[in-house]
Amino acid sequence: MEALNSERKELQDTAYKIAEAQVDPSKNMIIAMGADFHEGIIGIVAGRLAEKHNKPCAVFALNEEEGKAVASLRGPKYFHVVDMLKTMDHLLTRYG
């Protein structure tokens, strides 16, 4: 169990560093992506970035073989992520 937790933490830290390098401070929203991002950790990464920068954040785990992406979005208290997603639900397979 400890080994699995350490592996997850390492994946999370690596993805965070890659995502942080993609942050453009001039933008109103942070968008980061990686083909090596595991779907199970992108929410944690998005949360850390949103908290650090006080901006809405979307982190995408890309699946190039399938031509799809899974994203996790997080935002500060002033931003309602689900309300934003509702405005583009016609473009999304699912959200919630």
Residue 62 confidence (pLDDT) above 90: yes
Give the right CATH number for 2-91 from 3.40.50.10490, 1.10.510.10, 3.50.90.10, 3.10.310.30. Answer: 3.10.310.30
What stretch of H or E contains 69? strand 68-74
- Indicate the domain borders of the chain: 2-91
Task: Determine if the pTM surpasses 0.95.
Answer: no
Would you state the pLDDT for residue 27? 97
Residue 96 confidence (pLDDT) above 80: no
